[in-house]
Chains A and B, each alone.
Chain A
């Protein structure tokens, strides 16, 4: 389906949940959705027979410096179209409803986004850290993250080569 046609179809089906649309590179369409209407909007995208975005391709979080966002990439085998659904969130208290009931396979993607960005998914069955150890502090992929100097007694600091060599053997850089 042509993108202009897809955009008008989306505007008519999603109504007030749709905040903005845009064309993206690689034949993709960006759809920015309101956080409170996310579940109903995705339900429409998935179940409406004219749309049919039944396949979840990808899910990620992003940190745009002034705000956070969660992004979902969906694919419609019927229309053979891609779509990118984006929801902007506050930095201070990022919460968004979980889409586990709509897409079973998104469970681990949401856990990873929680682990790396600190975005809470309300209604998720098992929102725990996935990739980092359970006692890790902080959310690394945020732009203001500072890596700790030690973890459980192991030194993890990275010496800066431009600092004065304190105990270096002088082998040259």
Chain B
């Protein structure tokens, strides 16, 4: 009868008990349900759609597309950002709730890409918003975008969620 209350003896063999920190548990939940904002601007948006599509399905990692910044935690900037679009992009980023992450997908979002020669293109989206993962390619394959998503998940798992360092 006393065995039922002997917690120490039961810890090592009990499959229903998990010990962890609150940070790790919350980060696991956050990383595996990253909802991304569809910021498909140009050619990379087709590869973004294919990544959400049937073959390279990122829904299996918990990511699905949202059309509104209020419901998303990840912004995947897919395509060329022109100077006319830049203020709108910044406004959408500001509307997303913290904690938020950004993947710059493709050459145009990283550094202007082939349109670096142009007069009306923003040379890299990091001029207006902070970027977490830069994904090169023109356009990057769905497998590459999946890896970028996994890198963001890795980054999230290492974060301290509740206690932030004072700046």
- Using a CB–CB distance below 8 Å, which chain A residues touch chain B? 132-133, 140, 145, 147-148, 151-152, 154-156, 158
Contacts and interface: CB of A to CB of B under 8 A. Distances in A.
Contacts, number: 25
Interface in B5-63: none
Contact of A133 (B83, B116, B122, B127): B83
Nearest to B84: A133
Interface string B99-138: 0000000000000000011011011000110000000000
Nearest to A159: B123
Nearest to B122: A154
A154 B84 contact: no
Contact of A154 (B116, B119, B128): B128
Nearest to A145: B119
Interface in B131-152: none
Interface string B55-92: 00000000000000000000000000001101100000
A155 B122 CA distance: 8
Interface residues on B, range: 10 to 19
User: Which of A145, A148, A154 is most buried by chain B, counting CB atoms within 10 A of its CB?
Assistant: A154
A147 B117 CA distance: 10
B82 to A, nearest CB: 9
Contacts of B86: 154
Q: Report, nearest first, the 6 A-B pairs whose CB atoms are least far apart.
A: A147-B119, A133-B84, A151-B83, A140-B119, A154-B127, A154-B86
A73 B121 CA distance: 30
Nearest to A150: B83
A170 B119 CA distance: 27
Nearest to B121: A156
B122 A132 contact: no
A132 B120 contact: yes
B127 A140 contact: no
Given A147-B119, A158-B123, A132 B128 contact: no
A155 B123 CA distance: 9
Count chain A CB atoms within 10 A of each CB in B83, B84, B127 and give the residue with the most: B83
A155 B127 contact: yes
A156 B139 CA distance: 23
B26 to A, nearest CB: 36
A151 B83 CA distance: 8
